[in-house]
Amino acid sequence: MTRKSDPNVNEPQHFRVSAEQPAAPAIALAARAIKAGGLVAFPTETVYGLGANARDEDAVDKIFRAKGRPATDPLIAHIADADQLNDLARDVPDLAHELARRFWPGALTLVLPKSAALPANLTAGLDTVAVRMPNHAVATALIEAAGVAIAAPSANRFSRPSPTTAQHVLDDLATEIDVLLDAGPTAIGLESTILDLTRDPPQLLRPGGLPLEALRQFIPDLRFAPRFLGDAEAAPAPGTLLKHYSPRAELLLFQGHDDAAVYATMRAQIAAGRRVGLMLNAADAAAFADLDVKVESLGDSAEQAALRLFAAMRALDGAGVDCILARSPEKRGLGLAVWDRLLRAAEGTLIEV
């Protein structure tokens, strides 16, 4: 990807907007940029998205180029009204409508058979499309004003941690976007849960902001079988690459029930003389208070860990550490998605203690 030699030539128009009642002029300007085939970074309740008109093949192509994202990794189309689902997908099963009624707007993405009219690059050439209705007034206003579904992956350079603030977007993509709508930090901090309804039984492709347990009310046997852990039954989901959501520093993920043993194993890494950062919940972090290492606390709940995880990775990268030590959380509620992101950041390596 080429960047402009003079960064001032292509600075985005940056608008601070209310997360509840965004000002109409900023939304109108951003919607014009979408209709003109441009790129708009905007907040959702999960993370910031890098949006373009989902029906405009050239605009969608700009998303791939801006991110450095492989063309094999399909995008999610964002809608503001459940009726838009029928423009994007065909043969929509009753279960999709039931899930949409219960969980939309929200952090659930549904994979469905795609309608014929969509550009091939949106779906990476697949005959399925991923659709979500985000729960954020800015996203909704933008989609409504643009009058089209908006294709939007997370607004980060490919494989980097997803952006949970407008500053993260600028850090990765300042010269690539036309408009940035800044409504402050996102509420959930992790990407949506992706459910593939084209398979029987339905498959959870990515755990995310809507907990698996909530989906089990509708699909009792639903489970998460990450392909990268060698489960032969797992869905071959595009874009669920192992190395993803990663800090620049190496991340070591420790797993074990015995706190003292886990801490001792972590300390051995620190003693090995590397520039180490810690990314731990508050209780675990307290066990290292005697050491002179950079610590990013993930708080004391799965919700806080979800909110802080990507910002913590970026902060530790910014602090220049070579190695980040983290601990596997309980895989319940949002903890499952936190665990998934940590495991990918660690490139699949779990250190069992």
Query: What amino acid is encoded at 242 in this protein?
Result: L
205 binds, among ligand AMP, Mg ion, none (CB under 5 to 8 A by kind): ligand AMP
Single out the residue of 96, 183, 205, 325 in contact with ligand AMP (rule: CB under 6 A): 205
Q: Where are the alpha helices (DSSP H) in 176-234?
A: 212-215
Closest Cα partner for 39 from 153, 120, 201? 153
Which residues lie across from 277 on neighbouring strands? 294, 324
Binding site partner of 135, from Mg ion, ligand AMP, none, Cβ cut-off 5-8 A by kind: none
Contact 179, 12 (CB under 8 A): yes
Q: Whose CA is closest to 60, among 194, 152, 141?
A: 152
305 binds, among Mg ion, ligand AMP, none (CB under 5 to 8 A by kind): none
| From 101-109, 126-134, 145-153, 165-173, span contacting Mg ion (CB under 5 A) | 145-153
Q: CB under 5 to 8 A by kind: which of ligand AMP, Mg ion, none does 239 bind?
A: ligand AMP
Contacts (CB under 6 A) with ligand AMP, residues 124-183: 126, 128-130, 153-154
Task: Establish if 239 lies at the interface with ligand AMP (CB under 6 A).
Answer: yes
In the complex, the smallest distance separating the C-beta of residue 266 from Mg ion, rounded to whole angstroms, is 29
Shortest approach of Mg ion to residue 273 CB, angstroms?
Answer: 34
Indicate the residue among 154 and 192 with the shorter CB distance to Mg ion.
154
Q: Is 306 one of the binding residues for ligand AMP (CB under 6 A)? A: no
The residues, any chain, with a CB within 8 Å of residue 156's CB and separated by 6 or more, are 67, 162, 163, 168, 169, 172, 173
Phi, psi values for residue 314, rounded to 5°: -65, -40
Tokens of 46: 């999960």
**Which 35-74 residues touch ligand AMP, going by CB under 6 A?**
73-74
The contact pattern for ligand AMP, residues 206-235, with x = CB under 6 A and - = no contact, is: x-----------------------------
**Closer Cβ to ligand AMP, 129 or 253, answer by number:** 129
Whole-number Cα distances in Å, 201 to 102, 220, 231, 234, 237 = 19, 10, 16, 12, 15
Residue 154 binds Mg ion (CB under 5 A): yes
**According to DSSP H, which parts of 186-293 are helical?**
212-215, 259-271, 282-286
CA distance 268 to 271: 5
Q: Residue 76: which of Mg ion, ligand AMP, none does it interact with, CB under 5 to 8 A by kind?
A: ligand AMP
100 membership: H or E segment, kind and range: helix 94-103
Q: Does 194 bind ligand AMP (CB under 6 A)?
A: yes
Catalog residues that contact ligand AMP under the rule CB under 6 A.
73-74, 76, 111, 123, 126, 128-130, 153-154, 191, 194, 196, 205-206, 237-240
Catalog residues that contact Mg ion under the rule CB under 5 A.
153-154
